[in-house]
Structures are given as structure tokens and as C-alpha cells.
Amino acid sequence: MFGLSAPAVSAELPPPLKQDDFIAFDSKQAALGQLLFYDKILSGNRNIACATCHHPSLGTGDRLSLGIGEGGEGLGLQRSAGTGDSRIKKRIPRNAPGLWNLGAKELHVLFHDGRLSIADTFENGFNSPAEEWLPTGFNSLLAAQAVFPVTAQFEMAGNPKENEVAGAIYDRIDNAWPILAKRVRIIPEYGRLFVEAFDHIDAPEEVTIVEIANALAAFQAVEWQSFDSPFDAYLGGDETALGPAQKRGLELFYGKAGCSSCHSGKLLSDQKFHALGLPPFGPGRTRSFDPMVRDVGVMGETDRLEDAYGFRTPMLRNVELTAPYGHNGAYPTLEGIIRHHLDPDGMLKAWKPETAALPQAPWLEAIDFVVWNDAREMARQARFRDIEPLSLSNAEIADLVAFLKSLTGSQSVTSPPFGIPATVPSGLPVDR
Ligand code: HEC
Ligand code: HEC
């Protein structure tokens, strides 16, 4: 290139994302995983499915800043915090992320704080909250992830004394998995499907949580693979795939706005952790010996002070569909989260608690904004910033938004391979 058309893009564009970049999963296992993903049988009180918080009609998230786990009722913005004895006792501390492209081979860390990663710390392939109690035999990182929501008290397991799953976890995390596996395999249709889908399973009695997790992973990975966006077409060589505003946004993203220094590579994430100083709220992820209701992010995992308040750089395909944004869903729009990157302190000052999408739960109000109202903790958080303020014009911010919208795919968004099942083998109601 030369003369007037000299490239404004200073960072290299990534190579296109291709089918080869994804782990190949078994399609029978994926079909079985579809039923499990939508089946409330995997929750202690049989009242919530994976899909309740990761719904395809809600971009594979739940549209809420902080979600409502077991005990709540309804879906998305209509979800309520429940009533009577079963009402929720705590909000879910972080935003439910979208599940796009989680079967990518190069993905090595999951969760906003990276508490699950591929590593040999415990000689079972993964560094996870279950440490040496994590079973072996998972087909992927994504499969190892699937055993955690079912053991989380406020997500799916429920409270001790309410059901046999929650009671078992209270003793030790791995006690709950055999109970859940049995619940599933004694349903004749599930038993048959497991025998058909897994070569090493000859009878339903042999099904463990590992096969359940492998099926769930196969389903999520196959269902929500997305690399057919206009941006992907552009990377593939189709110069006409992006409109003028999207092209200007791309030039900013890979140029002076510096976005690609963190949202880098094929997946648009460095899979590393950075402190952006989002407005804090919610119950936090309280650590033992920490009196504060706060979320220290990846430091909770590494125990290194320099990691305080750092969260994983999200991948960005289909980001248009997964509002609200950030690890706690602090910003309802793409423009808002971009402006926060550009001016964290200014945006923090201007942020209003009403901005958060939090279903009403008056009995939790005292906790919701404890940190936000704590001047000393807010000052502490302000000392950790891994991003340089940058001044962009309103037109440039609009171009960045246009570019982010060019990351929206089509096939897996509008007609994914499996979709929502009409019914599930347990006979429990399916969220739709
Ligand atoms: C109550 C809502 C809720 C339910 C139910 C739920 N999840 Fe999630 N999910 C979340 C939240 C919140 C996070 C982020 C947690 C964190 O990072 O600390 C998450 C994270 C994930 C991730 C990691 C994504 C990433 O990019 O790191 C995957 C995969 C996932 N969930 C799959 C599942 C599966 C499979 C099930 C069912 C077995 C399930 N979820 C049930 C709310 C939920
Ligand atoms: C220093 C690294 C870094 C840079 C530079 C950066 N980001 Fe981010 N971005 C992050 C991290 C980390 C998060 C998540 C923060 C959190 O959850 O607390 C994030 C979140 C986002 C989100 C929200 C995604 C979601 O699913 O919630 C969008 C959109 C985004 N960034 C776009 C951009 C754009 C556009 C630029 C350039 C103007 C940019 N980022 C520059 C690290 C970075």
C-alpha cells in the first residue's frame, strides 16, 4: 500500500478463525448434551437448568447484570427473585457470560477470574476449585467447567437440608456428583442415550458425572460455534463485508484505540487479566478471612496483590447480543463499556446504581451497594488500573460500536444445529 491509502491499522489483523481451530466433538454426545443443558434435573431442587442463565434467546446469557439462581422464577429481564422460603438468599456475584466459541482449541482458561485452567497442578489436567477431587476423563476444558454450576449452592445446588445434592456438597464437593449422575441415568431415556453415545458405557449404571459433563461440553461447543460474521468474511478476504463505519472502527480497534493489545488473536482475547475498575456492586466473591463483600477478581485465584481486581479479557464475537457488559454487567450498552475503557475514573464517578439490571430483592438491598458506598474500598480499587485513559471523539466511539456489531455471526445465532428441545427426558418444564 502507498500514498493516501496507507494503512491506519498499526497492529496486525488476526488470521481468520476456522473449523480447524475447534475441538471435534461427537455429534451423538452433543445431541444428548442438548437435553441435559435444558433439563432442570441437574439442579438440587429441580428448578433451574443451565439454559435458565445461558439462554439462546438472550445471547446465551441472561440479560441481567447479576443473575438469579435456584429459587428464582422466570427468564431474562422477567426473572424474579422468588417468594417465601424458596426465595433467593444471595444474588449470583458475577454476570453470566455468553457461551460462544468455547470449544476453541486455544482456549486455556475459563471464568471471569480464571479459576479453571488447563494445568497440571493437581495431576488431573486442570487447576480448578475442586483441586485433587476433580475426576479425570474430561474431553475438554469446557467439560471440566460443567461440574461446577451443579455444585454451586446459589446457582443450581440449593441449600443444605433442601435436597440430597446440597447436603452432600456440604461435606465435600465430589460427594454430590454421584448423586446427580444416578438421578440422570435411572431415567430410561437418558440411560439408553448414554449407552448409544459413549463407546465405553455398556450399561446405564456406568454413567458418571464425567460423561454428563462431556455431553454438555460437546453440545455447547457444537451449538455455539460462531465465525461467520461480517468481520470474519473480511478477514477471509472479502473487502466489501464491512461498511465504512465498521472499517473505520476496525482501524481504530487495531490502531490508535489500542483495543487489540488485549482483545488480541483469533479469539479477540489475550486470555489474561486486567483491572479496568468497573463500578462494583453485588455480594462479591467473599474469600475466607476477608471481611469485605468485594470481588478481587483473579487475585482470589493467585493470592498476588498485583493481581487485585483483575478480570479476564472477554472474547468479543457476538458481543452485541450479550449485554450487559463487564464481569458484573455494570454497563447496559457497548458505548458505555467502551467509554469506561477510555475514562475509567470519569465513568465511575458518573455511574448510577440504577444502571445495573438487578431483579428486585428488597431483602438483599443492604448488601447490593455496600462496596459502592465504602469510600475506603473504592479508593483502594482506584489504585489498581491496567488501562491508560484515551480521548476519542463521539464519532470515533460510534465507529468502534459499529465495528463491534460487525462481530455478530449468523448461522449459530439464528438457527443453531440443535435449538431448544420440545421436551426433556425428566419431563420437567423447559425454559423457552
Ligand atoms: C444461576 C445462573 C447460572 C446457571 C444455572 C449456570 N450458569 Fe454458567 N455461568 C454463570 C455465571 C454467573 C458465570 C460466570 C462465573 C464466574 O466467572 O465467576 C458462568 C460461567 C459459565 C461458563 C464459563 C464461560 C467463560 O467464558 O468463562 C460456562 C462454560 C458455563 N457457565 C456453562 C454452564 C453450564 C454447562 C451450566 C449447567 C450445568 C451452567 N453454566 C449453569 C451463571 C450460570
Ligand atoms: C488493557 C486491556 C484491554 C484493552 C486495551 C481493551 N480492553 Fe476491552 N476489556 C478488557 C477486560 C479485562 C474486560 C473485562 C473487564 C471486567 O469484566 O472487569 C474488557 C471488556 C470489554 C467489553 C465487554 C465484553 C463483555 O462481554 O462484557 C468490550 C465490548 C470491550 N472490552 C471492548 C474493547 C474496546 C472496543 C477496546 C478499545 C477501545 C478495548 N476493549 C480495549 C481488556 C481490555
Question: Which grid coordinates belong to 33?
Answer: 448434551
Query: Best substitution site from 253, 263, 334 to test ligand 2's pocket, by max atoms within 8 Å of Cβ?
Result: 263
Distance CA 263, CA 313 (A): 7
Q: Is 259 touching ligand 2 by the criterion CB < 6 Å? A: yes
| Residue among 26, 145, 30 at smallest CA distance from 421 | 30
Distance CA 420, CA 432 (A): 7
Ligand nearest to the CA of 384: 2
Residue type, 273: F
CB atoms within 10 A of CB 51: 25
Distance of alpha carbon 361 from the chain centroid? 23
Distance between CA atoms of residues 82 and 185, nearest Å: 30
C-alpha cell at 28: 451423538
110 lines ligand 1 (CB under 6 A): yes
Give CA torsion, residues 204, 181, 149, 272, to 10 deg: -60
Which ligand number lies closest to the CA of residue 146?
A: 1
How does pLDDT run along the chain (432 residues), one tens digit per residue? 333 444 456 678 999 999 999 999 999 999 999 999 999 999 999 999 999 999 999 999 999 999 999 999 999 999 999 999 999 999 999 999 999 999 999 999 999 999 999 999 999 999 999 999 999 999 999 999 999 999 999 999 999 899 999 999 888 889 999 999 999 999 999 999 999 999 999 999 999 999 999 999 999 999 999 999 999 999 999 999 999 999 999 999 999 999 999 999 999 999 999 999 999 999 998 777 777 889 999 999 999 999 999 999 999 999 999 999 999 999 999 999 999 999 999 999 999 999 999 999 999 998 999 999 999 999 999 999 999 999 999 999 999 999 999 999 999 999 999 999 999 999 999 999
At 387 the pLDDT is: 95
Pocket test for ligand 2, best of 299, 312, 341 (most atoms within 8 A of CB): 341
pLDDT of residue 8: 57
Question: CB within 8 A of 406, min separation 6: which ones?
Answer: 229, 230, 231, 234, 241, 242, 243, 246, 249, 250
Nearest atom of ligand 2 to the alpha carbon of 319: 26
Tell whether ligand 1 has an atom less than 6 A from the beta carbon of residue 97. yes
Which of 319, 300, 303, 320 is closest to 311 using CA atoms?
300
Cα-to-centroid distance, 51 and ligand 1 (Å) = 10
User: Of 112, 113, 262, which is best to mutate to test ligand 2, by the most ligand atoms within 8 angstroms of its C-beta?
Assistant: 262
- Ligand nearest the Cα of residue 300 is 1
* Residue 337 Cβ contacting ligand 2 at under 6 Å: yes
Do residues 428 and 40 lie in contact, with contact meaning Cβ atoms separated by under 8 Å? yes
Cell numbers given for 420: 431448544
- Mutating to test ligand 1, I would choose from 42, 95, 111 the residue with most ligand atoms within 8 A of its C-beta, which is 111
Residue 208 Cα, ligand 2 centroid: separation in angstroms? 38
- Quick check: 314 and 269 in contact, CB under 8 A? yes
Smallest-distance ligand from the CA of 269: 2
The C-alpha cell 448488601 sits at 367
Rounded to whole angstroms, how far apart are CA atoms 364 and 376?
Answer: 22
Whole-number pLDDT of residue 373: 94
Determine if ligand 1 sits within 6 Å of the CB of residue 409.
Answer: no
Other residues' Cβ atoms within 10 Å of the Cβ of residue 200: 7
The four Cα atoms 426, 427, 428, 432 give a dihedral, to 10 degrees, of: 120
Amino acid 291: pLDDT = 77
Ligand 1 proximity of 146 Cβ (cutoff 6 Å): yes
- Rounded to the nearest angstrom, the distance between the alpha carbon of 192 and the centre of ligand 1 is 27
| Residue of 35, 46, 50, 140 best suited for mutating to test ligand 1, as the one with most atoms within 8 Å of CB | 50
CA distance 392 to 198: 54
CA 72 vs. chain centroid, Å, equals 19
What the block records as the C-alpha cell of 244 is 465504512
Ligand nearest to the CA of 213: 1
Of how many residues is the chain composed?
432
Compute CA distances 266 → 98, 314, 322, whole Å. 17, 12, 19
Which residue pairs from 172-180 have beta carbons closer than 8 angstroms and sit at least 24 positions apart in sequence? 172/133, 173/129, 173/130, 173/133, 174/130, 174/133, 174/134, 174/135, 176/150, 176/151, 177/135, 177/147, 177/150, 177/151, 177/208, 177/209, 178/208, 178/209, 180/42, 180/150, 180/209, 180/212
**Atom number of ligand 1 nearest to Cα 93:** 12
Cβ of residue 99 lying under 6 Å from some atom of ligand 1: yes
> 179: Cβ below 6 Å to ligand 2?
no
Contact by Cβ (8 Å): 205, 185 = yes
**Exposed/middle/buried for 375, CB within 10 Å: 0-12, 13-18, 19+?**
exposed
pLDDT for res 115? 96
CA 13, CA 10: separation in Å to the nearest integer?
Answer: 9
Cell of 66: 447479576
pLDDT at 1: 34
Is 358 a pocket residue for ligand 2 (Cβ < 6 Å)? no
Atom of ligand 2 nearest to the CA of 390: 38
8 Å CB contact between 8 and 392: no
Terminal-residue alpha carbon distance, the chain: 51
